[in-house]
Structure 1
Amino acid sequence: MTLYWRIFLLNASVLLVAVLLLFGPVTVSTPVLPGEAVVLVAGLVAMLLANAFLLRVGLAPLQRLTRAMRTADLLKPGRRSEVAGRGEIADLTRTFDTMLGRLEAERAASSARALSAQEAERHRIAQELHDEVGQTLTAVLLQLKHAADHAPAELRTELHQAQETTRAGLDEIRRIARRLRPGVLEELGLHSALRSLASEFSTRGLTVRPHIEAGLPKLDHETELVLYRVAQEGLTNTARHAGATRVGLSLRRLPGGGVGLLVEDDGRGIGGAPDGAGLRGMRERALLIGAELSVRAGANGGTEVRLDTTSDRAATS
């Protein structure tokens, strides 16, 4: 039965009952007696309440579907509306679920292409920084050294200062290139890359303590890259915004056979801050490998970033 006929028959039933009552025990005289007025008003109120209740029951599935549409988030897939009963609303709910599944698949595919292009661009920029800018600064260092060796004593100090400034710039260029293209991940694997990342972010005011469990399953390259980038983004957010002094970076085996990454700090926490570009990027990366990402307040304050992968992300031999 369509929604139109359902509502029509509900209202018709209430009106039919009212008419039958007028033909039966309920009568109206002219002029209207006080008792009859009370009966008519009470009957009207009863009809309105009955109509409101029946419409509420009939349209409840449509309200549930509306809430599902309002709260749908492609970065949090898997949520579906419950299909109840038959008819137009049930068909509409199934159509919405199908559409949502298709949108989630298309979003995941487009995110995979975008992130793949982003990694390729990072690789290209890192290579150019290393080959072009790095080599140029190295040549400048050599020229400054040669000039300092043959310069008068009064200019030698300034040339040495220029050397130190150039050397600091070269070190910064190399650091940026390492962040853009984690060569240690490709050469030595995820364990060494995470320890290197922890060492890089450990400064005088921030201590990063890595804990990598032994005997973890071997993961495919895409999963390792996602875990590394999520850890990198989590540590970057902590260093920039959290005001933390200690950060724990752990990688462990999950009960179901997957691998879990945890970045937990003792900073000021996330509060009610909205999701920024970094957090959205982490969610999109998690979708690529079917992992579950959660960002929430830690048990002892601060912020906790958790990424749990499934067992099917292990590399095939």
Structure 2
Amino acid sequence: MSLFWRIFGLNAVVLGSATALLLWAPVTVSVPVVLTEAVILVVGMGIMLVANAALLRWGLSPLDRLTKLMNTVDLLRPGQRLPVAGGGEVPELIRTFNAMLDRLEHERATSSARVLLAQEAERRRIAQELHDEVGQSMTAILLVLGRSADEAGEPLRGELHQAQEITRESLDDVRRLVRRLRPGVLDDLGLISALTSLTHDFATHTGLRVVRRFASDLPALDHETELVLYRVTQEGLTNAARHADAERLEVSLTRAEGGVELSIADDGRGIEAACEGAGIRGMRERALLIGASLDILSAPGAGTRVRLTAPVPRKQP
């Protein structure tokens, strides 16, 4: 039934019921109108308006649900759809909107994949240049400073040793930055070793206590899934250090039904659902890249838990 005939039918039901009551009810209208008759008419009009409003709300409720979804839909949370039943203008509108969401989610996932892959390639290039150029140059500076300090006398020798220490610390910072940009241990030793190294460096650098719980029976994952798990862990630790005001973090990676589950929990001040920043949205985009689901469980003063459930890639026949 079209929207026009739906509204027309609802109003016809109300008006027909009111007409039937007037015909069969033993009520007459005097001239001039008596007070009791006026009260009956006003009450009847009120009942008719309330019934009409209730029927119209019931008839137009699919449009209300569609409007609410339009205002709240988020492409980083895929799968938000309205049920469709029957034919007519309203169900067809809902089908069209659901189909549009399908296209937008597919295009968003495709474009996000291209952007993230290009970002990883750029990170590898920058890390390689830092390692090959800046790292080697600073190593050469260390050697020159060391030789100069051995041949110099006091107090120049002490100043050269101080410059050598500053250069060594800067070289360590460059190496740590290279590891963040390109987790070579992920390619060489696997996901568990990479996460262990990441959390160890994080605890050393920030002074926070990090508890690791990594299962030993994890299924085989492809490189793209492992990279997403690593980057989400990296971003989750960074967010906890910057915003959570936490003292303890727990990072776990366990087997889940049909995949693996990564969890990063802290005992900080928590966040509100409406306060998701660029870091969390970046994690959601990475989750879409591998078809994973990301949940943020938090409340003010109750800590935050980031939970990523990633499916195991199917083996190609």
Distance 1:157 1:71, change over 3 A: same
Q: What is the letter of the counterpart of residue 146 of structure 2?
A: K
Alignment of 1:273-284 (within 5 A): 274-284=275-285
Asked if the contact 1:259–1:308 (Cα under 8 Å) also holds between the matched residues in 2, the reply is yes
Structure 1 match to 2:246: 244
Gaps of 5+ in 1: none
Structure 1 match to 2:2: 2
Q: TM (normalized to structure 1)?
A: 0.91
In structure 2, C-alpha distance between the alignment counterparts of 1:40 and 1:257, rounded to whole Å: 66
SS at match of 1:106: helix
SS at match of 2:84: coil
Alpha-carbon offset, residue 181 of structure 1: 0.5
Alpha-carbon offset, residue 102 of structure 1: 1.2
In structure 1, C-alpha distance between the alignment counterparts of 2:245 and 2:29, rounded to whole Å: 79
In structure 2, C-alpha distance between the alignment counterparts of 1:68 and 1:272, rounded to whole Å: 18
Structure 2 match to 1:296: 297
Structure 1 match to 2:78: 77
Asked if the contact 1:219–1:315 (Cα under 8 Å) also holds between the matched residues in 2, the reply is no
Asked if the contact 2:273–2:298 (Cα under 8 Å) also holds between the matched residues in 1, the reply is no
SS at match of 2:225: helix
The correspondence for 1:229, drawn from 211, 228, 231, is 231
In structure 2, C-alpha distance between the alignment counterparts of 1:30 and 1:281, rounded to whole Å: 75
In structure 2, C-alpha distance between the alignment counterparts of 1:202 and 1:20, rounded to whole Å: 80
Q: Please tell me whether residue 110 in structure 1 is matched to residue 111 in structure 2.
A: yes
Alpha-carbon offset, residue 22 of structure 1: 5.4
Structure 1 match to 2:54: 53
Alpha-carbon offset, residue 160 of structure 1: 0.6
Alpha-carbon offset, residue 275 of structure 1: 0.6
In structure 2, C-alpha distance between the alignment counterparts of 1:165 and 1:142, rounded to whole Å: 13
In structure 1, C-alpha distance between the alignment counterparts of 2:229 and 2:16, rounded to whole Å: 67
Asked if the contact 2:73–2:80 (Cα under 8 Å) also holds between the matched residues in 1, the reply is yes
Q: What is the letter of the counterpart of residue 304 of structure 1?
A: R
Alpha-carbon offset, residue 118 of structure 1: 0.7
Q: What is the letter of the counterpart of residue 71 of structure 2?
A: R
Gaps of 5+ in 2: none
SS at match of 2:155: helix
Asked if the contact 1:218–1:314 (Cα under 8 Å) also holds between the matched residues in 2, the reply is no
Q: Percent identity?
A: 62
Q: Bigger CA drift: 224-233 or 18-27? A: 18-27
Structure 2 match to 1:177: 178
Alpha-carbon offset, residue 4 of structure 1: 1.7
SS at match of 1:260: strand
Alpha-carbon offset, residue 241 of structure 1: 2.4
In structure 2, C-alpha distance between the alignment counterparts of 1:108 and 1:13, rounded to whole Å: 48
Alignment of 1:1-317 (within 5 A): 1-19=1-19, 25-203=26-204, 205-254=207-256, 256-271=257-272, 274-297=275-298, 301-311=302-312, 313=313
